[in-house]
Amino acid sequence: MMNFEQRGSDDMQPGGTRLAQRTPQIPSVVREHLSLPMKLLLPAFLSVAIVVLLPLLFSLYTSFTAYRLTDPDTLTHFIGWRNYTRALTNEDFWAAFGRTVLFLTLALNLEMLLGLGIALLLNRVTRGQRALRTVMMFPMMFSPVLVGFQFKFMLNDSTGVINHLLQVLFGMHGSIPFLVNEKTALLSLIAAEVWNSTPVFAVILLAGLMALPKDPIEASKVDGCTPWQTFRYVTLPYLMPFIYIAMTIRSLDVGRAYDIVRIMTNGGPGGRTELLWTMIGRIAYDDSHMGYANAIAYISVLVSILFTLYFFRKLNAARRHIGPA
């Protein structure tokens, strides 16, 4: 049996210098334990690959083909960039794109203003704030399909409660065709979208107000600032990162608006409320041009990515402006 003197002499060079210790080898049992997390995550990775990645790659491939749902043989008819050039030279595409940008701009700004106002009011409430927060979140709990049906019935020109209230309160004769008039149809869609999603802004901005440091506000009061000056130069800069976070989340949702538009107007009257994603649905399923529809979808995804990058740049700028927390 080797004693300590022998082991020590084995580790020494002839000149008396100790040899560098060898790198320990990881036992096979430890290697198996290290691979265990990957084995546990493998079903999730496979599920994501099957459910998300494969359809994504398939839709990308079909965007370069003349694929029609009614003719499976067209799946192998490769036409290159023709679907993309067709979309970018189509007046209907640019009209839908412009309406989508208008819809997104008006909806986001109205949601931000209303959500900010609700958050400021709730932040001043000391008793019953939890109950009010719960009530505030009710609209976002409804699905867009249900909201679309609600507003469709409320704005009906013959049996809608909105026209009835206008006639009773203001003595109006006749009714306003909110959903069949091209001047009011898009505004009606925006109203439904704003009602459904304003709580998202309110919740995020209320969280920002509750995380706001008290020292700058107290210092502004000591310096004699008015409430508006305190809000403009102290509160709002601290809230800007939260505003841009909410803008990023909601821009992705509003840019894909489909359910409410499909239920309330179905793109009418005369295509005046057709947005990008309702146009994609019509081309894909009503006209069966799946390849062309997928090309438009990827163009809209690219636009959404550009919006997201813009809001992230504004978010980083706002964070640099207020300095480290």
- What pTM, to 2 d.p., does this model score? 0.81
Query: Across residues 168-184, what is the average pLDDT?
Result: 86
Q: What is the predicted pLDDT for the residue at 323?
A: 64
Q: What is the predicted pLDDT for the residue at 1?
A: 45
Domain CATH code at residue 237: 1.10.3720.10
Could you identify the residue written with the tokens 């704003």?
194
283 — pLDDT class (breaks 50, 70, 90): very high
| DSSP 8-state assignment for residue 217 | H
pLDDT at 21 > cutoff 60: no
The per-residue pLDDT for range 269-282, each reduced to its tens digit, is 888 999 999 999 99
26 — pLDDT class (breaks 50, 70, 90): low
The per-residue pLDDT for range 259-269, each reduced to its tens digit, is 899 999 998 88
Residue, of 41 and 184, whose pLDDT is higher? 184
pLDDT at 225 > cutoff 80: yes
The structural domain count of the chain equals 1
The per-residue pLDDT for range 60-99, each reduced to its tens digit, is 999 999 999 999 899 999 999 999 999 999 999 999 999 9
Residue 28 placed within a domain? no
Residue 45 placed within a domain? no
Measured distance CA(43)–CA(280) in Å, rounded: 32
Residue 241 placed within a domain? yes
Nearest to 291 by CA among 53, 89, 58: 58
With pLDDT > 70 as the criterion, what percentage of the chain qualifies?
Answer: 89
Q: What is the predicted pLDDT for the residue at 5?
A: 45
Residue 112 placed within a domain? yes
The per-residue pLDDT for range 102-145, each reduced to its tens digit, is 999 999 999 999 999 999 999 888 788 888 888 888 888 888 99
Q: What is the predicted pLDDT for the residue at 111?
A: 94
> What phi, psi does 12 have (nearest 5°)?
-105, 140
Give the SS3 label for residue 172.
Answer: coil
Residue 228 placed within a domain? yes
Own/partner long-range contacts of 123-126 (Cβ < 8 Å, ≥24 apart):
123/206, 123/209, 123/210
The residue range of the domain holding 117 is 91-322
pLDDT at 2 > cutoff 80: no
Residue 85 placed within a domain? no
Query: Across residues 47-62, what is the average pLDDT?
Result: 91
Residue 121 placed within a domain? yes
pLDDT at 314 > cutoff 80: yes
Residues 104 and 251 sit within 8 Å (Cβ to Cβ):
yes
Could you identify the residue written with the tokens 């809209």?
300
Name, of 89-93, 210-214, 222-226, the range with top average pLDDT. Answer: 89-93
Residue 314 placed within a domain? yes
